[in-house]
A and B are shown apart, each in its own frame.
Chain A
């Protein structure tokens, strides 16, 4: 955490990679007083990225701490700040505060089989965790990744899929919403694939992130399949502003998404109103 929590460090853009037509991935080095400094974080944490003079947005960290070096953020263009980020070039700088939030409970996940379920840009926070798990492969059980998007060209991080498929005891199940030319994979919404695969709970944790409607159905389906609420994990990543539990915007019930989350077990979510 920065000495003065509202004061950002500099995130120097080293490279920019196109993820989809509206999403770019920024690889940044963190600088303090003109010198590069280390940035240690956990999978599932986020940072407040800012374009000086435009504003600040909470963005999930999509790289993994098992691969030290540059930090990666996938940014979808949805508003003023993210639009300004999309106009940036390598060498430009952003402000950064972080890492913020709790991150995934990686120690408690050890020894478990893991079912990752993601839709669209929702893969961004899970990508860091997937790569963390695969970099510590022997600490975890079977890995299944269900990932869907509206169309093939909207699947994020497609350069990862072959590596993930090649990892031991790891399967990747891709799906798109409607048939498309040249697509040989599954067709159907993510919840339908979850049902179809019907992976039993057993020693398995489910980690889900995606649009609210996807999450709604996925959570129902997992409950119906016998998953216990404490074995279902999601990341809310919404409504945040200050990122440090002060400004009040992300308050839901007695929780603040930015400091008590963004990662929550379903058992915790059931203790707060469903204003998410």
Chain B
């Protein structure tokens, strides 16, 4: 980690504009006029919404787009030509990424970068530089500190921007970050003593008291927990929790025909959907709502840790904010353990 300088907030759009001549720039930008923010391509002249509002959809959207073409095909006589789609055409930089969202990429990497490697995902990952915004906590829903994430200097970031008065202290972390740092040079000044001090003492208000641990005994210990009955009774099955979740990564695959050719694409899917496990002959091994709710939480709290050593939750709290009945994963994990203790009594 190296402090490379102080950048004025008012210089940010100009810098991004200059960088956008060389790289594709993605940044939090206003979405509509209700104060919402989304991560999308920055064009010269745009105002960046870097700061207190969390993007509605997480960073995964730029590595696993909601709908993504896999290939095109064209047919003639008995021949079919398949042309793989190009995931991205330029190297990219994401500005203002939050620690929770960056940490989630490391979890998705476990799945998409294991053999056989998902080439489209890998290309997007390797060709993207991540500039984190040190996060002071974006709302009462935030609990990344509970799952071992450093929201100030998150692992996985190439560069970190730490907010200080009227600007940012910029630190480079990786080699990729250093390369980006050279593009920022023109907008950087030597930081003052007080600025450095503010950056050093920057802290987050993220809650550190949410307990997502599963009881000993693995899945079988909580398989029949009444937590699933309770959670599914209140769940309307809309699946918005899976849409806004930075770690959810399930998808479906579809073909479409256009004249003599067509395309195959994948799109986000959700374990909350009844068709998710429906098979062609009509059988569905997970037909009950309760079983689907259980699958979502078990996958995050029990199965994923068993395979990869970490819960598949980064404490962003988006699920609880988006959920029509405000159910948060911490609450369900609590109930899962409570019920288990009850039944052991």
Q: A residues engaging B (CB < 8 A)?
A: 1, 3-8, 10, 34, 50-57, 78-82, 91-93, 95, 212, 238-239, 241-242, 244-249, 251, 253-254, 272-273, 275-276
The smallest beta-carbon distance between B114 and chain A, in angstroms, is 7
Question: Which of these, B73, B255, B291, contacts A56 with CB under 8 Å?
Answer: B255
**A254 pairs with B279, CB closer than 8 A:** no
**A254 pairs with B255, CB closer than 8 A:** no
**A249 pairs with B281, CB closer than 8 A:** no
Q: Which residues of B contact A5 (CB under 8 A)?
A: 116-119
Q: Which residues of A contact B117 (CB under 8 A)?
A: 5
A7 to B264, CA, bound (A): 9
Known: A53-B255, A53-B257, A249-B276. A7 touches B250 (CB 8 A): no
The smallest beta-carbon distance between B310 and chain A, in angstroms, is 13
**A276 pairs with B285, CB closer than 8 A:** yes
A53 to B300, CA, bound (A): 34
A251 to B249, CA, bound (A): 12
Q: DSSP majority for the B interface? A: mixed
Question: Which of these, A53, A242, A276, contacts B253 with CB under 8 Å?
Answer: A242
Q: B residues engaging A (CB < 8 A)?
A: 70-71, 73, 75, 78-80, 82, 84, 111-112, 114, 116-120, 219-220, 223, 249-257, 262, 264, 266, 269, 271, 276-277, 279-281, 283, 285-286, 291, 295, 299, 302-303, 306-307
A34 to B80, CA, bound (A): 9
Between B73, B80, B281, the greatest number of chain A beta carbons within 10 A of the residue's beta carbon is seen for: B80
**A238 pairs with B285, CB closer than 8 A:** yes
**B262 pairs with A53, CB closer than 8 A:** yes
Number of A-B pairs, beta carbon distance below 8 Å: 122
Q: Which residues of A contact B266 (CB under 8 A)?
A: 6, 242, 247
**B256 pairs with A53, CB closer than 8 A:** yes
Q: Which residues of A contact B281 (CB under 8 A)?
A: 78-79
The smallest beta-carbon distance between B81 and chain A, in angstroms, is 9
**A248 pairs with B291, CB closer than 8 A:** no
**B255 pairs with A55, CB closer than 8 A:** yes
**A248 pairs with B271, CB closer than 8 A:** yes
Report the nearest B residue to A247, measured CB to CB: B251
A138 to B29, CA, bound (A): 69
**B279 pairs with A238, CB closer than 8 A:** yes
Report the nearest A residue to B254, measured CB to CB: A55
Report the nearest A residue to B248, measured CB to CB: A248
A244 to B118, CA, bound (A): 9
Given pairs A8-B82, A82-B280, A247-B250, 17 additional interface contacts (CB within 8 A): A4-B120, A6-B264, A7-B70, A10-B82, A52-B255, A53-B255, A53-B256, A54-B255, A55-B254, A78-B281, A92-B78, A238-B279, A238-B285, A253-B219, A253-B303, A253-B306, A272-B219
Q: Which residues of B contact A6 (CB under 8 A)?
A: 70-71, 118-120, 253, 264, 266
A254 to B291, CA, bound (A): 16
A52 to B303, CA, bound (A): 34
A91 to B78, CA, bound (A): 7
**A242 pairs with B82, CB closer than 8 A:** no
**B307 pairs with A254, CB closer than 8 A:** yes
Question: Which of these, A248, A254, A273, contacts B223 with CB under 8 Å?
Answer: A273
**A247 pairs with B286, CB closer than 8 A:** no
Known: A92-B78, A242-B253. A53 touches B70 (CB 8 A): no
**B250 pairs with A249, CB closer than 8 A:** yes
The smallest beta-carbon distance between A50 and chain B, in angstroms, is 7
